[in-house]
Amino acid sequence: MQNQPEDLINTEDELRELLGYPSELVRKKAISRLDRHCKDFIAKSPLIFIGTSSKEGLCDVSPRGDAPGFVETLEDHYLVIPERPGNKRCDSLSNILSNPQIGIIFLIPGLKETLRVNGKAIISREAKLLGRHQVNGKIPRLAIIVEVEECYIHCAKAFIRSELWNKETWLPENDLPKIPQILADHVSNESYPAHRISDALKESYKERLY
């Protein structure tokens, strides 16, 4: 930035003086296991976002989605997230190998509150475990197993302010960002024009979801 921001917050004391402290409800809402409410929420969630970071502290957030309940709960302390085919960057997986800490947000369409789960992750290729997550006869090659350390409900204010689930606020299709053109411009290689990328995306979404 050419003009650096001024009057920065640099300490926890400064932050708390400005924003205050959480209420008793907020302080005590976090639990250290998957109770029946968390398990029910997870069973109804078709979309999650997972946050990871490398040992150097470089962060990444990535979506995972499938039919509701695609994330398996094991007892009260473990989650299994099947790893479906992607773009092979493996950002989340590489981060987990160097730093196991992981944060997850579970979404349910139409519900403004979300479930947040934090813990430690490992990567498994156990055949028996993976076999439980096959779709259309296709078995994932890997799964992320999370040892749960903290669970809590996140309030609805972000979804209320954004009106995410209100279809009347959605942009018309013609006004949405043109993803093939964005990718073509970012790659900046004449071998990958927008129309070619568009065809490749359609083929990938149709033939290689699993």
Tell me the HSE value of 104 on the side-chain side, using a 13 A CA sphere: 32
The pLDDT of residue 70 is above 90: yes
pLDDT tens digits for range 137-152? 999 999 999 999 999 9
Domain spans in the chain, listed from the N-terminal domain onward: 21-162, 171-207
Residue 39: what pLDDT?
Answer: 98
Residue 37: what pLDDT?
Answer: 98
Residue 3: what pLDDT?
Answer: 82
The pLDDT of residue 193 is above 80: yes
Residue 150: what pLDDT?
Answer: 98
The pLDDT of residue 207 is above 90: yes
The pLDDT of residue 2 is above 80: no
pLDDT band, residue 99 (cuts 50/70/90): very high
Give percent of the chain with pLDDT exceeding 90: 97
Averaged pLDDT, 15-40: 97
pLDDT band, residue 27 (cuts 50/70/90): very high
The pLDDT of residue 1 is above 80: no
pTM of the model as a whole? 0.95
Q: Which of 3.30.70.80, 1.20.1250.20, 3.30.70.100, 2.30.110.10 is the CATH number of 21-162?
A: 2.30.110.10
